Structure 1
């Protein structure tokens, strides 16, 4: 009798691997969201920059996003905008 590469339930190895990677991704997403008990996820865009922050409100999210945008600009050697970062919320 030839050995097969499938599990006793009839799933192939590639199907099992895909299922496990999907379960892992879902667990990580749920774990990250569950850690942030008192906040919501805000995705803000300023030009090409897309910044995701966890905050309780829009103003706090903008402050955190501005600090992170300043950090990324300094890290990459970009100048900060003279008018400041103009953030738009992405749905």
Structure 2
């Protein structure tokens, strides 16, 4: 039986686990090696999650104390709605966690 999975807002203490998943996500989109994102982009992305003036947010999936997934999302205006719309920007799961339902 699989252990319970918890989805929660990202915390500063998640930085090292997030960086591993973030690198995997970017590698999937061929943003590694010579095409890697500049370190400044990764740093700015991380800082935005904790800046109340920024509409960018992050959640992590945690199982047995380990961060095993991430998602980044933001709210923006829309031409088809009055209220802001949620846009899912990034979604990534550790490879060993895939295919378990």
Relative to the length of structure 1, the TM-score reads: 0.33
Whose RCO is larger (CA < 8 A, sep 6+)? 2
TM-score by length of 2: 0.31
Higher radius of gyration, 1 or 2: 1
